[in-house]
Amino acid sequence: MVRLYKKHIPLKNHNNIFLGLIFLLMTVPTQIAHSQQQRFPKPEFQTEYQIPETERPNPRAPFMEYLDLFLLLAVLSLTTWLVLKKRSRKWILWVSVFSLLYFGFYRNGCICSVGSLQNLTLSLFNEGYSVSFTVLAFFVVPLLFALAVGRVFCASACPLGIIQDLVIVKPIKLSPWLQKSLGLFPFIYLGLAVLYAATGTDFIICRFDPFVGIFRMGAEFHMIVLGISFLLIGMFVARPYCRFVCPYGALLKICSLNSKYHLSITPKDCINCKLCKDSCPFDAIDFPTDEKENRASRKDFWKFVFYAALIPVLMFVGGWAVSGSYKLLSSAHPDVYLANLLVSQPELMQNTENLDIETFMSSGKTLEILVEEAKIIQEKFRFGGWFLGAFIGLVIALHLLNQVIFRKRSIYEANRGDCFSCGRCMDYCPVGKPEHPFFKDKPEMVVKS
Amino acid sequence: MSKLQSRRQFISGCARYSLGLTIAGVIGFSLTNASSQQWLWQIDPFKCTNCGRCATHCVLNPSAVKCVHAYALCGYCDLCGGYLKPGHIARNTAAENQLCPTAAIERKLIEEPYYEYHINEELCIGCAKCVEGCSSFGNGSLHLQIRQNICVNCNECAIARVCPSDAIKRIPADEPYLIKGGFEHGQTL
């Protein structure tokens, strides 16, 4: 009898059961989490049939992560040697093409140092989240290299930078004022990325990474548009993402400004021939200072005092302003968003069109709990907002202060903060190259190397 | 000039060492919460509500999420809620009767009246239509999984961000799959 039941229910009464189930499905809210249920028993096969195993294809082998790290170290060390000793733009270019192909197109832009800063932040603020050693190393190694020899990571390891470097056609010079102002954005972006990662809201750097869609040959439409626009702008404003957006670049800049060694345009002594003057597409070459124009005056002294006094003021105002806008900032968190939506429009709770609302309603969680959770997140934003605002205020104040500090310079040299160590300028320097066209009619100027 | 240079060098050196110490501090602090594990994304099929966002929100197209079949849990029914469209005309393999929009479910007669259902993962887009059908009418043996050989392991899973039931989690790589088990394993796994 049991056997008959097993065999015949699905065969004979199926139509009624099926209709009944459809009816049930229509009456019960459809989004109830279905767990595994033994509605139909396991068949007893008469034949030799073996129940197959569910396939479990393996992920990428773990040692491959160490290969990534090894290649990063190799690329950075090689570039360091090429920048400081070999002084060859051509070889730096080839190394960078390799990195673009490997870290960009083969590894699909993930694992990346730029994004790793968010993983690290989240792991520092959230005990349940831990980073792997490889991710930690990807974050730290380029910074240590920057501290030692400048931004070699930007030159030839970062696929985001290299893809822009390769499309430079006719770089235009930006006014220093515009360049400095736009250069503030990476610090603001860095602060925001840290705040959003620390609160566990979102990884905004990855989400708004304009080039990862190109590496993967597919992304949301607006991200592809953004990526292509960055590349089109990049034909004329060289490396726009690196200079005016990249938050990791902001960290590298701070490290590189104080680097022990750095790329130098000339192999020996600068002869002020000005040949390298226009060689840098990134406007990262500092010119010798004009003595008359820049002599520090009494007025400058008072300006300095004023801007220095402005630091705490701007920090406080920034902290107050950003912390005050915590509601706006926190609405990016899905829970806060949902809570806001349901509190402001309670009639939406009956909405079956909205998946998030529907799933929430059928999860059995009450609105009160959701609102409580949202409030905790908002409090985090209010607290973190003080730090973010103070940081932004500090950056702006230091930027202003920097405008009145006069630095005497007698030669053409790379700006350690802005220079990507791409090596273009080195090819323009005639020093040590007697065959250089510059020396053709001035043989007495040849400097022996 | 040399005095100026040495002063600059001194300031820069101090800044360098303090930055170095900061980085060392960050390393030390994060080492307390670091692991040698590789991390992967995983769907918990018991939390999944078959909303269909896996098909549309993965950075890959088609999605790295595929329907997989826990054969041990399957009733091998002829009338399969995961295979046949509600209101199907006939119970056969004709395209108009199939629930799967890409015809990724292959039906094979084992012996009367049992049919084996196999997912062709090349065709599967992870839309969860069959999962919904199987969980509503059947045993729930069809369920979604992130295929680890396809997944590019994004830093932040684009599906996890929009998953309404919070079913996608970041897990250590030694157990990449949470596959539904058979009846003998009980209800949990």
Model confidence over B12-28: pLDDT tens digits? 999 999 999 999 999 99
* Residue B11 CB-density burial (10 A; 0-12 exposed, 13-18 middle, 19+ buried): exposed
Q: Tell me the three state secondary structure of residue A355.
A: helix
Residue A10 per-residue DSSP state: H
**Tokens 């907002």 belong to which residue?**
A385
Task: Give contacts of A360 with chain B, Cβ < 8 Å.
Answer: 164
Task: Give contacts of B169 with chain A, Cβ < 8 Å.
Answer: none
Res. B187: pLDDT tops 50: no
- Does the beta-carbon distance from B176 to A254 stay under 8 Å? no
Residue A19, amino acid: L
- Does the beta-carbon distance from A124 to B30 stay under 8 Å? yes
Residue boundaries of the structural domains of chain A: 67-289+416-430+440-445, 300-404
Q: Are A197 and A135 in contact (CB under 8 A)?
A: no
- With CA atoms as reference, report the closest residue to A115 among A204, A184, A186: A204
- Does the beta-carbon distance from B38 to A132 stay under 8 Å? yes
Range of B15's domain? 1-34
Q: Are A378 and A200 in contact (CB under 8 A)?
A: no
In this prediction, residue A30 carries a pLDDT of: 40
- Does the beta-carbon distance from A33 to B47 stay under 8 Å? yes
Q: Are B116 and B64 in contact (CB under 8 A)?
A: no
In this prediction, residue A64 carries a pLDDT of: 86
In this prediction, residue A12 carries a pLDDT of: 37
In this prediction, residue A445 carries a pLDDT of: 66
Q: Considering CB atoms only, which of B33, B60, B73 is closest to A36?
A: B73
A vs B, Cβ pairs < 8 A, gives 209
Task: Give contacts of B20 with chain A, Cβ < 8 Å.
Answer: 144, 147
Tell me chain B's radius of gyration from C-alpha atoms: 25
Interface test with A, best of B18, B65, B74, B155 (most A CBs within 10 A): B155
Question: Do B23 and B43 belong together in one domain?
Answer: no
The distance of A31 to chain B (nearest Cα, Å) reads: 6
Question: Do B97 and B176 belong together in one domain?
Answer: yes
Q: Is A106 on the interface with B (CB under 8 A)?
A: no
ipTM computed for the complex: 0.86
Q: Is A133 on the interface with B (CB under 8 A)?
A: yes
Res. B43: pLDDT tops 70: yes
- Does the beta-carbon distance from A216 to B59 stay under 8 Å? yes
In this prediction, residue A3 carries a pLDDT of: 37
Q: Which two tokens stand for residue A99?
A: 């990195």
Task: Give contacts of A14 with chain B, Cβ < 8 Å.
Answer: 78-79
Residue B17, amino acid: Y
Tell me chain A's radius of gyration from C-alpha atoms: 30
Question: Do B91 and B138 belong together in one domain?
Answer: yes
Q: Are B96 and B89 in contact (CB under 8 A)?
A: yes
Question: Do B48 and B136 belong together in one domain?
Answer: yes
- Does the beta-carbon distance from B161 to A334 stay under 8 Å? yes
What's the rounded Cα separation, in Å, for the pair B100 and B130?
6
Q: Is A258 on the interface with B (CB under 8 A)?
A: yes
Q: Is A129 on the interface with B (CB under 8 A)?
A: yes
Task: Quickly list DSSP for A248-286.
Answer: HHHHHHHHHHT-SS---SSSS------TTTTT-TT--EE
- With CA atoms as reference, report the closest residue to B149 among B47, B66, B57: B66
Question: Do B27 and B67 belong together in one domain?
Answer: no
**Tokens 């930006």 belong to which residue?**
A174
Contacts of A342 (CB under 8 A, 6+ apart): A348, A349, A357, A360, A367, A370
Question: Do B114 and B152 belong together in one domain?
Answer: yes
Question: Do B70 and B148 belong together in one domain?
Answer: yes
Q: Are A261 and A152 in contact (CB under 8 A)?
A: no
Q: Which two tokens stand for residue A387?
A: 């730090």
Task: Give contacts of A22 with chain B, Cβ < 8 Å.
Answer: 86
Torsion angle defined by CA atoms of residues B151, B154, B156 and B157, in that order, rounded to the nearest 10 degrees: -20
B171-179 mean pLDDT:
87
Which chain A residues in 393-432 lie under 8 Å from chain B, judged by CB atoms?
A: 408
Question: Do B15 and B98 belong together in one domain?
Answer: no
- Does the beta-carbon distance from B148 to A144 stay under 8 Å? no
Q: Return the HEC string of chain B.
A: CHHHHHHHHHHHHHHHHHHHHHHHHHHHHHHCCEECCCEEEEECCCCCCCCCHHHHHCCCCCCCEEEEECHHHCCCCCCCCCCECCCCCCCCCCHHHECCCCCCEEEEEEECCEEEEEECCCCCCCCCHHHHHHHHHCCCCEEEEECCCCCCCCCCCHHHHHCCCCCEEEEECCCCCCCCCCHHHCCCC
Question: Do B19 and B63 belong together in one domain?
Answer: no
What's the rounded Cα separation, in Å, for the pair A62 and A294?
57
- Does the beta-carbon distance from A112 to B111 stay under 8 Å? no
In this prediction, residue B44 carries a pLDDT of: 92
In this prediction, residue A184 carries a pLDDT of: 96
Task: Give contacts of A130 with chain B, Cβ < 8 Å.
Answer: 33-35, 37
Task: Give contacts of A46 with chain B, Cβ < 8 Å.
Answer: 111
Task: Give contacts of B132 with chain A, Cβ < 8 Å.
Answer: 30, 34
Nearest-10 crossing angle of helices A247-257, A113-125: 90
Q: Tell me the three state secondary structure of residue A137.
A: helix
Q: Considering CB atoms only, which of B12, B20, B135 is closest to A34?
A: B135
Question: Do B113 and B143 belong together in one domain?
Answer: yes
What's the rounded Cα separation, in Å, for the pair A148 and A76?
11
* Residue A281 CB-density burial (10 A; 0-12 exposed, 13-18 middle, 19+ buried): buried
Question: Do B22 and B46 belong together in one domain?
Answer: no
Contacts of A293 (CB under 8 A, 6+ apart): none
Summary mean pLDDT of chain B: 88
Q: Are B127 and B135 in contact (CB under 8 A)?
A: no
Give me the tens of pLDDT residue by residue for chain A, a chain 449 residues long.
Answer: 333 333 333 333 444 444 444 444 444 444 344 455 678 888 888 888 888 888 889 888 878 889 999 999 999 999 999 999 999 999 999 999 999 999 999 998 888 999 999 999 999 998 888 888 999 999 999 999 999 999 999 999 999 999 999 999 999 999 989 999 999 999 999 999 999 999 999 999 999 999 999 998 878 888 899 999 999 999 999 999 999 999 999 999 999 999 999 999 999 889 898 899 899 999 999 999 876 665 666 777 888 899 999 999 999 999 999 999 999 999 999 999 999 999 999 888 888 888 888 888 888 889 999 999 999 999 999 999 999 999 999 999 999 998 888 788 889 999 999 999 999 999 999 988 878 888 777 766 665 54
Q: Is A363 on the interface with B (CB under 8 A)?
A: yes
In this prediction, residue B176 carries a pLDDT of: 86
Q: Express each pLDDT in B126-135 by its tens digit.
A: 999 999 999 9
- With CA atoms as reference, report the closest residue to A296 among A165, A418, A412, A408: A408
Question: Do B111 and B72 belong together in one domain?
Answer: yes
Please report, in angstroms and rounded to a whole number, the separation of the first and last CA atoms in chain B.
Answer: 75
The domain tally of chain B equals 2
In A, minimum Cα distance to B90 occurs at A15
In this prediction, residue B183 carries a pLDDT of: 61
* Residue B122 CB-density burial (10 A; 0-12 exposed, 13-18 middle, 19+ buried): exposed
Residue A349, φ and ψ in degrees, nearest 5: -65, -20
